[in-house]
A and B are shown apart, each in its own frame.
Chain A
Amino acid sequence: MAKFVVGKNVLLAVLVGIVVYLTVIPLGMILYGTFRDGPPGTVASFTLANYVRAYGDASIFVLAANTMLFAVGAAAVSFVLGGFLAWVTERTDTPLKGAIYGLALFPFVIPGILTTVAWVLLLSPTIGLINRLLIDNFNLAQAPFNIYSMAGMIWVFGIDNITLPFFLLAASLRSMDPALEEAGRVSGMNAFGTFWHVNLKLLTPTIFAVLLLLIVRGIETFEVPAVIGLPAEVKVYASEIFLALRMFHPPDYNLAGTYSIFYLVVASAGVGLYLRATASAEKFATITGKGYRPRTQRLGRWRYLTLPLALAILFVGVILPFLIIALTSVLPIYKRPSWEFASAFSLDYYRTVLRMELFHQALVNNIVVGVISATAAVALGTAVTWVGVRTKLRGRKLLDMVAFAPMAFPGIVIGLALLWVYLTLPIPLYGTLWILVIAYVTKYVPIALRACHTALLQLHPELEEASIISGSSWPRTFVRVVLPLILPGVAAGWFYVLALTFKALSLPVLLSHLGTEVLPVVIYGFYESGDFSELSALGVILIGALSLVALGTRIFATQFSIHER
């Protein structure tokens, strides 16, 4: 028995060591750079000028306020919509769950540039289709919706990110023990009271984790601020980083890194608060030794409200932009839907993409890199989570914060740090797929970490203890008891990281090499050369492919986890 404990500790130590290595090196470089006046590899001296320039101006407060307003607003939109859909699919007997589940995945697998431009084509005050339809049919004087506003930015980013709360909340809801809800009912609470006092309290870690992830992504995103924020004249942090890179020649990456420190402070503060709120883990355990029968709520007539509502959300939020993208993928140029459409219809753009050797190579690379990265991220996330939740080691909160930190930095900043590290370290990783794995794992362990953390919190330790006391070895306990029970959350994290490797743009652009290109490189290539039809075709192809994987993941998680049959 003892040797298994030692084995487990060694494994944990190794995994934690890997996380620290992956995180501390690039972060250390970035931090170091903020105090230098020249890029790495050149003769540079110590300076505080970057900090003065970044934070010495009073306008920084307006910028921070705008950024938080955008990030929090979008997080609220994603959370409410994604959370509602999660509840509908996991805890009610609403019909057509498969369709809801499938559609909720779409915004996540489509490249962000496509959805953002699709929304411009829907809600622009001059050419937006929705606006035109409303104006023409209701004789309005002017367009009711103007996407070029803070509200527009919040909507586009919010609706584009419903998949994260959907996944994580669905996973947590799936593991909810209805005995606790029954206890609530028995004490006299109605359905709403039960929801408020029992479910929400139990879901606090997940809710908190989801909001934290959404807010940090909102602070860090650059597509919506670039495409919508610029013409709207709404400035957020991402805009300042962009300025830092354009105003100077050569671009000032040290200054960009200095701006990112704001993100780091917010992210770390968020994690600190989250860890404090979830410190007494037993409070949140819903999977206990007392018998566990997840059960759906019978809604009766309310189904006639939840189904249309869910479908309406998905239609407006997901199907509409998808239709625009599908439209663009079969036309040489974007045209408003009309009868002329039929004559210009062409599948050429799909052919171009499917025939591209680079596309095939990038797809294979992406799948390989994605699967390895997602698995590694989840393994590392579980290790850090284990240390955080199941041990009393000192510094485990700091470990969590450090592991979470890379999430806060924009891809280009981390990408450059990693580029320099692996160009100069005497390890022959540069130019191989492994450097991409390292980059993705570094950047996305934070997401896997939060997913694994909330999953493990729901599991009461008494189940593992019972297994070990009955004579089972630790590895067997982990595989047969722990893993199946935390699988929904872990699988959500796994799939999310995998899908991100298909989406994230700046990271792979710098680190890809001959033969190691991944899909985002192809996507960005089409975008920069103005091949929007091909880009849209690629987006549609991706939706098809990744939806299949997602459904497969759901089936796998359903089959192998425990639930009422």
Chain B
Amino acid sequence: MVMEKFSAAVLAAIGLLLISVPVFAQGEDGLIAGAKKEGQLVWYTTTAQTDNKVLLDAFMKKYPFIRAQSIRAGGPELAEKFIFERRAGKYIADVIRVLDFDVERFKRENLVARYQSPSAEKFSPDMKDPEGYWTTDDYTIKVMGYNTKLLAAKDAPKSWSDLLEPKWQGKVVVEVLDYRLYAGWEQRLGVEKATKLAEGMARQKLILRRGASQIAELLAAGESPMAQAYVHHLEVLKAKGAPVDWIRTFDPLVALRGGLAISSNAPHTNAARLFVDFYLSKEGAQIIRTWGKVPGHPDVEPFHKALQTKELKIQFLEPKLTAQNYSHYAAMAKKTFYR
């Protein structure tokens, strides 16, 4: 009896293996065959235009039979363009790269397909959608930057609560309506502590600005002693000789993850998968790291040494929670980061 059950189990296992082997064996060869017939790839992305060309060129070198092109726009415009096209029944984009949060919005309207790239197998769970629709190519962190000519490192605040001291009034630039910062506070500290922090910050005469890159540029020029900016902008400026640095000890440091996804009903599915596999591979990550952000790939270190340490208290925003609580976060952001 036991033997029969045992052999049944073995047979079942072999059967399963036989069925699944084609799936794994399809792997790259199958995709290549399919991609050869497709011959094209269209990638919608928020990545800088000079940067994304490098990636595309490397991809086309590896797969010369695919003509790969990109359309670059800012997150909101790109998302609207993609959504409008799909609603009108036009299938143009194969792969789309926006923030994880925007991909969640696409998920709700069934605009993206599940694809768990073999390249991302070793990625940490933080770098992937648990439901398998997006993977993080790279991420950046919102940090409190400061101008080293106007503020010495030892005098800089060490935590969010330090920032509530009266001496920092009128000295800190933040991005207007920064709901993500508030969301990060709440998802890390809980509603009560986050609300108290927000109320305190609202009294600090924060200087409001738009445009993350511009905020970093003006910080480097000395327009204000401190500014909430993206770490990769600051590190790039530092490398160019700008007198900027950032504080490592804030808790939380809100991070923004990229979300790379394949469009559902993409016109060139095989090419799309090849591209995603390439993008998320070590080779792709080596290109991504030159863009200054932190690659999602666990084996590739970020370009800027300052981003390499693990002790940073990074808070990734949970996309579903963020979508659910959006109006609440936006309302709190209006109270704190708007006048």
Contact = CB atoms under 8 A, between A and B. Distances in A.
Tell me if chain B binds chain A.
yes
Interface of A: 40-42, 117, 120-121, 124, 126-127, 226-227, 230-231, 233, 242-243, 245-251, 332-334, 344, 352, 356-358, 416, 419-420, 423-424, 430-431, 506, 509-510, 512-515, 521-522, 524-532
A530 B105 contact: no
Contacts of A334: 217, 220-221
Contacts of A248: 326-327, 330
B240 A332 contact: yes
Contacts of A117: 214, 217
B237 interface: yes
B220 A227 contact: no
B177 interface: yes
B223 A127 contact: yes
A126 B222 contact: yes
Interface of B: 42, 48-51, 53, 69, 71-74, 76-77, 79-81, 83-85, 87-88, 90, 92, 105, 173, 176-177, 179, 207-214, 216-218, 220-224, 233, 236-237, 240-242, 323, 326-327, 330-331, 334, 338-339
Contacts of A242: 210
Given A231-B208, A423-B90, A344 B241 contact: yes
A407 to B, nearest CB: 22
A348 to B, nearest CB: 11
Contacts of B81: 419, 510
B72 A333 contact: no
A488 to B, nearest CB: 38
Contact of A251 (B73, B76, B90, B179): B76
B213 A423 contact: no
Nearest to A331: B240
5 contacts: A246-B330, A334-B221, A510-B77, A529-B49, A531-B48
B49 A358 contact: yes
7 closest cross-chain pairs (CB), A and B: A530-B213, A41-B87, A529-B48, A423-B88, A332-B240, A525-B49, A249-B326
A105 B211 CA distance: 28
Given A230-B209, A509-B77, A249 B105 contact: yes
Q: Does more than half of chain A's interface fall in helix, strand or loop, or is it mixed?
A: helix
A490 to B, nearest CB: 34
B84 A127 contact: no
Contacts of A246: 177, 179, 330
B50 A356 contact: yes
A121 B42 CA distance: 40
Contacts of A419: 80-81, 84
B69 A528 contact: no
Given A420-B84, A529-B49, 6 more contacts: A230-B208, A243-B338, A249-B327, A423-B84, A424-B88, A532-B217
A514 B177 contact: no
Contacts of B211: 226-227, 527-528
B92 A431 contact: yes
A124 B74 CA distance: 28
A431 B71 CA distance: 11
A72 to B, nearest CB: 24
A509 B223 contact: no
Contacts of A245: 76
A513 B71 contact: yes
Contacts of A531: 48, 50
A509 B73 contact: yes
Q: Does more than half of chain B's interface fall in helix, strand or loop, or is it mixed?
A: helix
A419 B323 CA distance: 26
Contacts of A506: 77
A527 B213 contact: yes
B334 A247 contact: yes
B88 A227 contact: no
B326 A40 contact: no
B87 A40 contact: yes
Contacts of B51: 529
Contacts of A526: 49
Contact of B237 (A333, A514, A522, A529): A333
Given A416-B80, A522-B49, A247 B330 contact: yes
Contacts of A509: 73-74, 77
A247 B177 contact: yes
Contacts of A524: 73-74
A85 to B, nearest CB: 31
Given A423-B84, A522-B49, A120 B218 contact: yes
Contacts of B77: 506, 509-510
Nearest to A250: B105
B87 A42 contact: yes
A129 to B, nearest CB: 11
B331 to A, nearest CB: 8
Nearest to A42: B87
Contacts of B74: 509, 524, 528
B209 A352 contact: no
A530 B177 contact: no
Nearest to B51: A529
Contacts of B83: 250
Contact of A333 (B73, B80, B242, B323): B242
Nearest to B79: A250
Contacts of B210: 226-227, 230, 242
A120 B48 CA distance: 25
Nearest to A430: B90
B165 to A, nearest CB: 21
A356 B85 CA distance: 28
A251 B179 CA distance: 14
A522 B71 CA distance: 11
Contacts of B212: 530
B29 to A, nearest CB: 29
Contacts of A121: 221
Contacts of B176: 230
Nearest to B225: A126
Nearest to B322: A249
A41 B84 contact: yes
Q: Which of B242, B323, B338 has the most CB of A within 10 A?
A: B338
Nearest to B327: A248
Contacts of B209: 227, 230-231
Contacts of B236: 530
B237 to A, nearest CB: 6
B13 to A, nearest CB: 47
Given A230-B208, A231-B208, A333-B241, A416 B221 contact: no
Nearest to B326: A249
A510 B84 CA distance: 10
B42 A514 contact: yes
B48 A525 contact: yes
Contact of A126 (B208, B224, B326): B224
Contacts of B50: 352, 356, 529, 531
A532 B215 CA distance: 12
Contacts of A528: 48, 74, 211, 213
A520 B339 CA distance: 31
A41 B109 CA distance: 12
Contacts of B334: 243, 247
B220 A333 contact: yes
B323 A127 contact: no
B213 A529 contact: yes
Nearest to B237: A333
A526 B217 CA distance: 13
A243 B88 CA distance: 27
Contact of A120 (B223, B330, B338): B223
